[in-house]
Amino acid sequence: MISTAAAIGSVWMEPRTMNGRVERASGRPASFNSVRNVRSRSRRFDYGFTYMSALILIVVSGIALSEAGRLWQTISKREREEELLFRGDQIRRAIASYVDVAGQSSPSYPMRLEDLLKDPRFPGTKRHLRRIYHDPMTMDGKWALILNEGGGIKGVHTRSEESPLKSGNFPAIYASFENARTYADWNFLNVPIQSQPVSVSETGSSMSP
């Protein structure tokens, strides 16, 4: 009886493979080792999948941030463009007021933009402009001045060489803006540029914010 039980125990403790070799490495059934190997491979797959997911997330986030940056730049540029149209038109109107108020046959133009704040031809305070707007398209805010032959200021334009976003639906007085290649071509003139030769000064004038 004892020899029979020992033989049975020996058979269980030393399982043999199909080629007759005894598996003694772990002392456990072969099925246990197989499960452990499967779990190890599964963990390696999970780690690899997590790494790839993180890379994909980084790439997608970078693309989204890049698109958001371009959108923000476009919105900011459009806002500055609208300010340029408003401020340039205000200065043009102030120059027209300066010319018209004198009632002279020969137009008299301001020699400085500051003359639009306080007309030097009158003893009191005569204003044609509430304040001198700075150029929203440049860092220093200085306009390029469009001068007549006598050195008077007939108009202004920005020095920015950026390409405009707006290309149509301008007021009739600014119809020429539709063909402009840069913002610097947007001339805010009191009179059409064809009516009198003009020169352009890049010196500008001190701007208040």
- For residue 186, pLDDT over 60 is answered with yes
Q: Looking at residue 64, what is its pLDDT?
A: 73
Whole-number CA gyration radius for the chain: 41
For residues 2-21, average pLDDT: 49
Going edge to edge, which strands form the sheet with 144-147?
A: 188-189, 153-157, 144-147, 199-201
Q: What are phi and psi of 16, to 5 degrees?
A: -110, 150
> Helix or strand or coil: residue 188?
strand
Please tell me the chain's helix, strand, coil percentages from 3-state DSSP, rounded to the nearest 5.
50, 10, 45
Residue pLDDT, tens place only, 97-119: 999 887 665 678 999 999 999 99
pLDDT at 13 over 90: no
The proportion of the chain whose per-residue pLDDT surpasses 90, expressed as a percent, equals 46
Helix (H, G, I), strand (E, B) or coil at 155: strand
Residue 154 pLDDT more than 70? Answer: yes
Q: How far is CA 159 from CA 16, 93, 195, 202, in A?
A: 90, 20, 23, 8
- Residue 159 confidence (pLDDT): 97
Q: Which of 45, 80, 40, 97 is nearest to 165 (CA)?
A: 80
Please give the pLDDT value at position 193.
40
Mean of pLDDT values over 154-164? 97
Check if the beta carbon of residue 186 is closer than 8 Å to that of residue 81.
no
Query: When comparing pLDDT for 125 and 28, which is higher?
Result: 125
Mean of all residue pLDDT scores within the chain:
77
Task: Note the pLDDT tens digit of each residue in 56-78.
Answer: 777 777 777 676 677 778 899 99
Q: Is 80 exceeded by the pLDDT of residue 204?
A: no
Contact in structure between 141 and 207 (CB atoms under 8 Å): yes
